[in-house]
Amino acid sequence: MTQYQPSSQARRFSVLKFGSSVLRNADDYARVAHEIYRHTRTGEKVVAVVSALDGETDALFAMGDQVGQGSSDRVLARLVRCGELKSAALMGLALERSGVPVAVLDPHEMDLVASGDPLDANLSGLNREKVLARFDQADVIVAPGFFGEDENGPITLGRGGTDLTAVMFAHWLGADRARLIKDVDGVYSDDPAKNPDAHRFDALDYEAARKVSHGLVQDKAISRAKALDVVVEVASLGKAYATRIAAQVEKPAAARVERPLRVAVLGHGAVGAGLCQHLLAHPNRFQLSPILVRNPAKHSPDADPRLHFTQDPAEALRDDTDIVVEALGGTGFARSLSQSALRDGRHLVTANKAVIALDLALLSGLARENGLDLRYSAAVGGGTPILEHLDELAPKNDVLAVEGVMNGTCNFILDALDRGELFADAVAEAQRLGFAEADPSTDLDGDDAADKLAIICHHAFGIMPDVRDISRESLSDLSPERIAAAREAGLVFKQVGRCVADNTGGVDARVELRALPQSHPFAALRNEANGFLIHRPQGLTYIKGKGAGRWPTAEAMFADLMDVQRRHARSASPGKTTTTRQKTASQDHRMPRESAL
Ligand code: HSE
């Protein structure tokens, strides 16, 4: 049987730890999901180690004391680790919502061995192979921090012990560092909340870090990191920089001042509304202008009261707009607004595959001439980072062909038909769930997949075919009898887009309905899932995720926005706004992006 390598960079790991200071309430799991997605979309596999929600461990200790009056540390440990178990499950749910393939594992499922005092133990072993095997299906493994197992059950690692869990995972998995995400953007000479003269460090050695961190990083974790030569980073959510703790010389950091960027969101449908929620959750980074919609009265009653709506483009696209987010869809108004956004000096983030398929050369040229960012990750694959994978592989001439299930609506409907449901019911359900285009015939007839395939060709081979030249089969051509016959033969229908470069400098691209055997990876794609096989000289790379719907698509758009924010939000001095109209690094046809750090 063909071996499908789940990801091209399957063994590039990040260990990220999220402490209680960034998990203050249930809403914070979405923010943390953004941070994790930032890494997975560059092809990294992530171990996300989580603490309990803020205050939960204290509450559990207090409850344990109340009920048991401290009678048994071992049973108390069993109680207080529950905060981390709950937090790991919540993290898994938030990642699933965003369409990120995730596995949540309890310590005993990874043979995470601890030894010592039940309330102040150390970690002594991990079944590395068991963990690595889970990465065949998942991009993220969520592990509860703070405890492991000895022969008599769970024991905890002392307060702040999730830092130690992260350090040990980085050591056992051979990750290049453990990145501890806190509510401060690094280690300071003093508490920056109390001392305005406190300065941040870019780099510290282990002993200096222990002296100045005042418990910001668990002492035991620093000691183990030093002994095992694990690099530790302390960073905050969404930042590209960190304090690096390693065997090195101390380095104070230059002062950084960031200003919020003004965002004009065009459209408030399934995706636009999801994105606005993410923007509202980051007021220090983004200020939202009134959202451009056709009928403000329709959106206002149900929307968050902080959102304002307008049908006046001039009000939505204020003069001080930094970024335009196009979530209107279609190729009429959306097309002209995308061009004018870049002409007027705004960065453009869009999910509109039809506009990108038509105008990528024009829009890229405008972005390049004006020193602006053009981002459209969500246009293909929803939250599945296929374009990012291709951008990494294509410069190495590493792509021979790409095949993919790239329309979530068609996959959802084919799945329903395979279960014997009615076509019209399946279409209506896809519309209700927000997967389908405004006109679902765009999905059913293969037009949406053809647009996406054209963009894929561009990223895989540097060739943008005319979408009209991409042949396509429509779901309407598929009779219930054909589906039933396929099922009888053990086959399942999928809509598959495929492109391969020919040796005349052209590309053969088509959207087909294919009856596939159950052993084919696309056969396992359920509902709105997307999956892509990249044919490479070394074999096949398979990536999958959720290809449509509010949260996966909003996740990809928000990741694009955060990339733009990290590139452009720095002011030269407090209160002074600069940089967004400056020339930036030149863009080729691919999407420039920083590494996730
Ligand atoms: N209608 C599209 C789909 C939305 O179903 O895949 C995501 O591009």
CA distance 396 to 243: 33
Residues assigned a catalytic role: 452
- Quick check: 121 and 155 in contact, CB under 8 A? yes
Q: At CA 413, angle to CA 494 and CA 543, rounded to 5?
A: 50
**439: CB partners within 8 A, 6+ apart:** none
Is 573's pLDDT higher than 80? Answer: no
Residue 491, strand partner residues: 517
Measured in Å, residue 354 CA sits from the centre of ligand 1 at 11
CATH of 13-252, one of 3.40.1160.10, 3.40.50.300, 3.40.50.9100, 3.30.70.1520: 3.40.1160.10
Tell which one of 271, 412, 415, 437 to mutate to probe ligand 1, the residue whose CB is within 8 A of the most ligand atoms: 437
Percent share of the chain, pLDDT over 90: 84
Encode pLDDT of 106-159 as tens digits: 999 999 999 999 999 999 999 999 999 999 999 999 999 999 999 999 999 999
Measured in Å, residue 322 CA sits from the centre of ligand 1 at 27
**Residue (of 522, 523, 521, 500) closest to 510 by Cα position:** 500
Q: What is the rounded average pLDDT for all residues in the chain?
A: 92
* Domain boundaries defined on the chain: 13-252, 261-379+551-588, 386-548
Q: What is the pLDDT of residue 387?
A: 97
CA distance 219 to 158: 10
CA distance 494 to 513: 6
The mean pLDDT value for 570-592 works out to: 40
Q: Whose CA is nearest to atom 7 of ligand 1?
A: 548
Q: What is the pLDDT of residue 193?
A: 83
The mean pLDDT value for 226-249 works out to: 94
**Residue (of 28, 45, 183) closest to 91 by Cα position:** 28
Tell which one of 407, 414, 546, 550 to mutate to probe ligand 1, the residue whose CB is within 8 A of the most ligand atoms: 407
Q: What is the pLDDT of residue 595?
A: 54
Measured in Å, residue 544 CA sits from the centre of ligand 1 at 14
Q: What Cα–Cα distance (Å) separates residue 180 from each residue in 14, 160, 216, 229, 236?
A: 11, 11, 10, 16, 8
CATH assignment of 386-548?
3.30.360.10
Fold exhibited by the domain 261-379+551-588: Rossmann fold (3.40.50)
CA distance 339 to 208: 52
Is the CB of 407 within 6 Å of ligand 1? yes
Is the CB of 436 within 6 Å of ligand 1? yes
Is 3's pLDDT higher than 80? Answer: no
Model confidence at 569, pLDDT cuts 50, 70, 90, reads: confident
Model confidence at 300, pLDDT cuts 50, 70, 90, reads: confident
State pTM to two decimals: 0.88
Query: HEC profile for 165-189?
Result: HHHHHHHHHCCCCEEEEECCCCCEC
Atom of ligand 1 at shortest range from CA of 353: 8
Is 582's pLDDT higher than 90? Answer: no
- Quick check: 408 and 442 in contact, CB under 8 A? no
CA distance 38 to 179: 14
- Quick check: 95 and 33 in contact, CB under 8 A? yes
Q: Where would I find the beta strands (DSSP E) of 157-299? A: 178-182, 201-204, 232-236, 243-245, 251-252, 257-258, 261-266, 286-288, 291-292
Measured in Å, residue 127 CA sits from the centre of ligand 1 at 39
Is the CB of 92 within 6 Å of ligand 1? no
Encode pLDDT of 187-208 as tens digits: 999 888 888 889 999 999 999 9
CA distance 345 to 342: 5
Encode pLDDT of 442-471 as tens digits: 999 999 999 999 999 999 999 999 999 999
CA distance 519 to 148: 37
Measured in Å, residue 97 CA sits from the centre of ligand 1 at 16
